[in-house]
Amino acid sequence: PEGLPAVVTLSLAISVRRMAGRNAIVKRLSAAEALGSTTVICSDKTGTMTANEMAVVRICAGGELYDVEANGYEPSGDVLLDDEPVGADPALEQLATVAALCNDSTLLEEDDWTITGDPTEGALLPMARKIGVREKNVRGRYPRVQEVGFDSERKRMSTIHEAEDGYLVATKGAAEVLVDLCTRIITDEGVVEMDEQTREQVADAASEMADDALRVLALACRELDELPDTVDADTIERDLVFVGLVGMIDPPRPEVARSIAECRDAGIAVKMVTGDHRATAAAIAREIGLLNGGRVVDGRELDSMSDEDLAESIDEISVFARMAPDHKVRILEALKERGEIVGMTGDGINDAPALRRSDIGVGMAKKGTDVTREVSDIVLADDNFASIVAAVEEGRIVYDNIRKFTRFLLSANFGELLIISIAVLAGWPLPLLPLQILWVNLVTDGLPALALGVTEGEADIMDRPPRDPEENMLSDMVPYLGVVAALCTIGALGGFIWEMAVHNIGYHEMLQLAAYGHNTEAMPEAAQNALKMAHTVVLTQIVLFELFVVFNCQS
């Protein structure tokens, strides 16, 4: 059908526009259709499944466990000990000082309090103000001179600042990593040696926070008389003094649980891939309905698994915690080894290889880097997991629409082809003129096909399993095409024969008229009028029949 390329392109373009309205910006038209066959979605947690608005709600410092009243990024509320506001406390002040120094974010003092920079770092600034430490003051007192930036392998960062009698190193990072680098700890009695019992107490406090779905961050510091010749992680991040733990919450987006349930009904597996602690990731996964009997695997466990073991057990794993960017590639390859069609999300530069290798790479518009947006097939304008599910739904709708108008166009064209073929083989005059065939194809076929290509989709679109990308679109259409073509042919040729018979033109007379070919002017006048009426009947029957078929192709 000559209208097929135009209708396909228009249908994909309209689908892309609808996806953009649902916060999924499609960079390639083919990706819109490919979404319909997605079988697994590997999604980040922070900012995608959660709101990405961190707030510190618990502090462990000086041997005490404090609660923090949180109100977003607004620095209002108190730090509580046994439900009572605490006053000046050296251990808390030291923790707030380190949190404000080892920090690249800024708290904007506006009517609606916001931060610039990483949300995790930004959450530390309101906490510091509640303790009584303003970041501007402390940063002025301790100017930063150098930095050892955050690294996903080290899971920590450090900054070096000038002090009155030397330098101060401020470090923050994952609790299970940072505690091992500390040899001393700040307590009510001052700075004391950190023994194994103290380490266990810190580890238990961190686990307790993580079990409550809190993201746990450890803070430490170190004083230096002078800077070493080489400033790097090995020379700076050792012999640290443990300052404390902060537990911050990033609540799940309210719509994510519903979206995961939709994926389950649609036969799409969802896997959380996050850098957070396994207990934190598991708690969030349980809250959104993702961890229903599935396993939780962290980076160390994944490293100990062979590629074959990972491929065999990956269906059982729902949450991947403490993952580095290279782990995403291993997870992707294991899923593709099992024949899955994978949609992979990412926001950092190191996520680019996984996004490029995935079937559908999903980048983030808000927190994503230029590199990830460049290699992605789809960019989420709101960084929301629910937008991925909406894009999958639109992908299924556009594939359904392509099937609908393909079924319609082919059935209509096969009918016309069969009519002409039978008439030529029988030696009759052509039941349709070339101009009539052109009219049918351009008007009666093209416009209804365009309408089928932009339908909204059926109610059960997300209750079906993902389609096999290798399936032949025409395989289950052949019986339908045969029946429709046969009905169209019987009706059109029946009308043609009936109209000729009304004008007393039988089979033998039609054979004689066929000898005139296109030179109808040479026919007898009665035969010309009969043939014109027969052409009108056939054209009208085909037009009406195809308009009936287009309604039949809506589902």
- Write down the catalytic residue from 44, 298, 383, 400: 44
Radius of gyration of the chain (CA): 35
Q: Helices 385-426 & 4-21, crossing angle to 10 degrees?
A: 160
- CA dihedral (512, 517, 518, 522) positive or negative: negative
> Cα dist. 421→46, 236, 411, 431, 533 in Å?
63, 86, 15, 10, 21
What is the C-alpha to C-alpha distance for residues 300 and 327, in angstroms, rounded to an integer?
A: 10
User: ∠ at Cα 493 (487, 494), nearest 5°?
Assistant: 85
One-letter identity of residue 98: V
One-letter identity of residue 455: T
User: ∠ at Cα 519 (513, 523), nearest 5°?
Assistant: 45
Phi and psi dihedrals of 488, rounded to 5? -60, -40
What is the C-alpha to C-alpha distance for residues 365 and 347, in angstroms, rounded to an integer?
A: 8
For residues 165-203, b (16+ Cβ closer than 10 Å) or e, as one string? eebbbbbbbbbbebbebbebbbbeeeeeebeeebeeebe
What is the C-alpha to C-alpha distance for residues 50 and 65, in angstroms, rounded to an integer?
A: 25
What is the C-alpha to C-alpha distance for residues 250 and 332, in angstroms, rounded to an integer?
A: 26
Q: Is 347 designated active site?
A: no
What is the C-alpha to C-alpha distance for residues 301 and 298, in angstroms, rounded to an integer?
A: 5
Phi and psi dihedrals of 110, rounded to 5? -125, 180
Residues 6+ away with beta carbon under 8 Å from 146: 159, 160, 227, 231
> Cα dist. 518→57, 132, 416, 432 in Å?
88, 97, 19, 12
From 482, 474, 497, select the one nearest 417 (Cα to Cα).
482
Q: Helices 278-287 & 196-211, crossing angle to 10 degrees?
A: 20
Active site residues: 44
